[in-house]
Amino acid sequence: MLNFWKSFFSLKKKSSLKRLPEEYIKILGFAPHNEDFFLESLTPRALKKYKSNGEILNYERLEFLGDAILGSIVAEYLYTSAPKNDEGYLTKMRSKIVSRKHLNEIGGRLKLLDFIPYEHNIHLSHNILGDLFEAMIGAIYVDQNYEVTKNFVHRILIEPYINLYELEKKIISYKSLMIEWSQKKKKKLLLNTQEEENAEKKVIFVSQLWIEDRFVAKGRGYSKKNAEEIAAKRAYYKFNNKM
């Protein structure tokens, strides 16, 4: 697989040269018009690659586009599939479908990380799998058209993994759920999050969740968001029967 990356980053590459692995093309389900879009979608910023004209080469622009296209396709699917539900329901379901956690799972199932020219000394975002999936969608849209992209999203994401009845019960954010519950019950909820160092000299965030001046739960994580989500999840299970 490394050979196709060597040819991609060569300044003397030919546009007609086939460089994408067959396994990747099988996932796409079609032969690309221009493989450069897909090779770009597999290039994280951390690799510090450049195009022959000196421009930075990474997937971020395609990820931005893919995020918008994916949101549009999912919105259309929900509008058609849930004709009796209001805008609030549709928004909530879309958020669950395109959540970072869910997209990371899809990217993991497709094994997209196997296709990047990985180097052990680079740091990749913990959301890299979801980013690669969105960039892939962006590349499909640019290379093909909206209908092909829509068919891909339905085949890869919606048809095998989306069941609206099951999705309604799925909790994406325990923090949002606890905040919504506290507002409904008119109770004051406070998340007190601080940084602390552990024995390995790594920064860890510790979050304490309080309700009405009563300590409820604590969570630790490598980001403020993660720590608060863990604290909220523990609080949720403590209050589960009351919610």
197 and 113, same structural domain? no
- Sign of the CA dihedral with 11 first, then 15, 17, and 23 last: positive
- 40, 67, 143, 228: the catalytic one is 67
179 and 102 share one domain: no
Q: Kindly name the residue from 36, 134, 228, 229 that is annotated as catalytic.
A: 134
Is the pLDDT at 133 greater than 90, yes or no? yes
Q: Which residue has the higher pLDDT, 85 or 16?
A: 85
**Each residue's pLDDT tens digit, 167-187:** 888 887 888 889 988 998 899
Position 16 scores a pLDDT of: 39
One domain, residues 230 and 143? no
Domain boundary among 169, 189, 215: 169
Does residue 156 or residue 2 have the better pLDDT? 156
pLDDT at 118: 65
Q: Is 86 a catalytic residue?
A: no
Q: Answer whether 85's CB lies under 8 Å from 77's CB.
A: no
Same domain, 78 and 165: yes
Q: Is 2 a residue whose pLDDT tops 60?
A: no
Q: Give the chain as a 3 state SS string.
A: CHHHHHHHCCCCCCCCCCCCCHHHHHHHCCCCCCHHHHHHHCCCHHHCEECCCCCEECCHHHHHHHHHHHHHHHHHHHHHHCCCCCHHHHHHHHHHHCCHHHHHHHHHHCCHHHHCCCCCCCCCCCCHHHHHHHHHHHHHHHHCCHHHHHHHHHHHHHHHHCCHHHHHHCCCCHHHHHHHHHHHCCCCEEEEEEEEECCCCCEEEEEEEEECCEEEEEEEECCHHHHHHHHHHHHHHHHHHHC
- Looking at residue 120, its pLDDT comes to 58
The enclosing domain of 13 has a CATH number of 1.10.1520.10
Binding residue ranges: 63, 131, 134
24 & 126 share domain: yes
How many C-beta atoms lie closer than 10 Å to residue 72's C-beta? 15
Confidence of residue 33 (pLDDT cuts 50, 70, 90): very high
Catalytic site residue 168?
Answer: no
Residue 201's pLDDT is what? 67
Residue 196 has pLDDT above 70, yes or no: yes
CATH of the domain at 201: 3.30.160.20
Q: Please indicate, yes or no, whether residues 36 and 17 belong to a single structural domain of this protein.
A: yes
Tell me the pTM: 0.73
* Shared domain check, 65 and 17: yes
Binding residues for Mg(2+): 63, 131, 134
pLDDT at 243: 56
> How many domains are contained in the chain?
2
The reply to whether 52 and 93 lie within a common domain is: yes
Which range of residues forms the domain containing residue 218?
Answer: 174-242
Q: Are residues 178 and 165 in the same domain?
A: no
Mean pLDDT of the chain: 86
**Same-domain status, 127 and 194:** no
Query: Do 14 and 130 belong to one domain?
Result: yes
Among candidate residues 169, 186, 208, the one where a domain is terminated = 169
Residue 200 has pLDDT above 80, yes or no: no
Do residues 124 and 187 share a domain?
no
Q: Which residue has the higher pLDDT, 138 or 180?
A: 138
At 1 the pLDDT is 52
Confidence band, pLDDT 50/70/90 cuts, at residue 242: low
pLDDT score of 21 more than 60: yes
Domain end residue (candidates: 169, 199, 233): 169
